[in-house]
Structure formats: structure tokens, C-alpha cells
Amino acid sequence: MTTHLRWGILAAGGIAAAFVSDLNDNGFTVQAVGSRSLEKAREFADRLGIPTAHGSYENLVNDPEVDIVYIATPHPMHAEAAKLALEAGKHVLIEKPFTLNAAEAREVMDLAEARGLVALEAMWTRFLPHMARVREIIASGAIGEVRTLMVDHTQDLPDDPEHRINNLALGGGSLLDLGIYPVSFAWDLFGEPLTIQSHATFKETGADATIATIFGYDGARVATTISASDTKGPNRATILGTEGRIEIDAVWYSPTLVHVYNSEGAEIETFDGAVPSRGMQFQAAEAERLVAAGELDSPLLPRAETIAIMTTLDTIRTQIDLKYPGE
């Protein structure tokens, strides 16, 4: 028996390389990689010390030495790739956004449940120590009743119309690449919004450049988010409570510092969320924990919540009139 599950990596792009590097640095077992190009798979495997390279996704998911598959394709291919792995009897960890829309998310989750397999969204931020500490601080009542979340995810990314971020055929745009982070954070903090207001600006390719949202909840609670692919902002998050506030340093969705202030503005705690590597190993550890425990649902990111988050993204897209090819 192996200490860890044996991971297969489906697609050999940049996010897959970052994930594999974190797994390699923290004692996980990466067994195989699959790409639509055998040459690319071999280059990826050689570079990252992976024993087996496959020249198709089908060969990867049918590899008997692979237990769980990490899905790292562009967004529109997530559902198809995940179903391919699930049909082959493999657990899956699927890059965020989980799928292109909520309908696809339901299909994937229904198949995983029917097969008794784990299907977990790779929203790595949920599983990081500094976010766990934020939840603990809030639960302790240290900042009183939480009322407001203000969060941005803004980057100055390439303007090339062929770049993935600007290509609607690849699910490009700010919302699915960047906005998923603050939207998921708002769900983590407050749950389902009662009201959603959205505004967007667009690039010439039709991809959304900037997305601003206001989520309303009961109890006078509100979350505001801003995401952009053409302007870089502070990339910080602030949580306001009736007795204080929490500020998460840049970049808030990655391992960083958390500051807690009382109602007089005095800092009462600083938590250093630094971890080994980039921090993507924590989501892998949760997937492995679920498999070992015979559980299908993570308390940190339940299956129903992954679908509900995709539904929120669908609502935002309806409000800003954004559709992807084939929908």
C-alpha cells in the first residue's frame, strides 16, 4: 500500500505544473500525466519527475496505477474530462471554476455520487491555514457580528486577443478566472446571497474585463467584490464586524498575513499563514482524507455549495449578458 493516493494529472499547463510542484515538495505521489500530445506529456513528466506520460486523456484515466485525477484543462473542458475520469472509476479534483455552468456541475456531481467517488472543487484557498484561522476568529466572536466583506481580485493580464483570458471559447474573462475567488469567499462567509447586483465592462473579444458585484443577505449583511483582468489593485480582503475587523494582506487568497483589530482600531492579533510551497497541497490532502474516510462531501466545500456557487456565477452572467460559445 502507498502512503498517499497515486495522482494522475489531466492536462499539462501552467496550473498543473504548480500543483505537481507543491505535491512533489510535500511528499505526495504523482504517478502519471496525460496530454493530448505525447511529446508534451513526456516533457512535463521529465521536468517534474513523473514516472508515466500518456498521450491521451483516455489512457491517463484508464491507467491502473492512478487512483485520483486532477483536472487542469481550460474551463469548458472540465466537465467532459471529469466525467471521463469518473466513468473510469477515478476520484477527481477539478480546478475552479468547477465547470462552465451549474448544469454541468450537477451532471458531474450526480455521476460522482452514483459511482461513489469523490469530486472536489480545487478552490485551494478554502483549505489554507490562514482561511481556517479567519473562520476561527469569526466563530469566537472577536469582531462581533460580521456585517460586511470587501474583497478584490484584480490583475493586469495580457491584452493579446488569443490569450486564454481573452478567449470566450476557452471560458476566458475576469469572472471565471478571477471572480470565482471573491464569490467563493462570500459564499464561505455568508452563504447564499438573497440579492445579486452585477456590473461589467468588456474587451473587444467579448470577454469580461471587469466584474463588480454586490451581494445582499439578511441581518444587514453585504459583500462587495471587484475582479479585473486589465488593472491591478491591492488584492486584499476586509471583513467588518460590529466589534472590530479582519484584514487579509495581499495576496489574500494565497498564504499571507491576517490582522485582527478591535473596535478602537488597535491590532489584537497577527496570524502568519505562510506555508511550504505555494499551498496547493492542502486541497490534495483534503481529497485524500475524503477517500481514506470513505466520505464524499468535504465540510470545507460541500458538493451542493460548489453547484450553488456555479449558480451564482450563472446569475451574474445573465445580468451582464455574458454567454460562452456552445451554451
Q: Which residues are catalytic?
A: 96
Residue among 254, 305, 15 nearest 131 (CA):
254
Could you tell me how many helices (H) and strands (E) the chain has, helices first?
10, 14
Set of cell numbers at residue 156: 493586469
Set of cell numbers at residue 65: 496505477
Give, in order, the Cα–Cα distances in Å from 193 to each of 27, 182, 196. 39, 13, 7
Question: 99 φ, ψ to 5°?
Answer: -145, -170
For 199-221, b/e burial (b = at least 16 CB within 10 A) is ebeebebbbbbbbbbebebeeeb
Amino acid at 276: P
CB contact set of 231 (below 8 Å; sequence gap of 6+): 154, 156, 210
What is the torsion angle, in degrees rounded to the nearest 10, for the CA atoms of residue 288, residue 291, residue 294 and residue 299? 50
Distance CA 119, CA 126 (A): 15
Sheet architecture: strand order including 195-202: 195-202, 208-216, 222-228, 146-154, 237-241, 244-248, 257-262, 267-272
CB contact set of 313 (below 8 Å; sequence gap of 6+): 97, 101, 102, 175, 176, 179, 180, 183
Q: Can the peptide bond before residue 251 be classed as cis, meaning omega within 30 degrees of 0?
A: yes
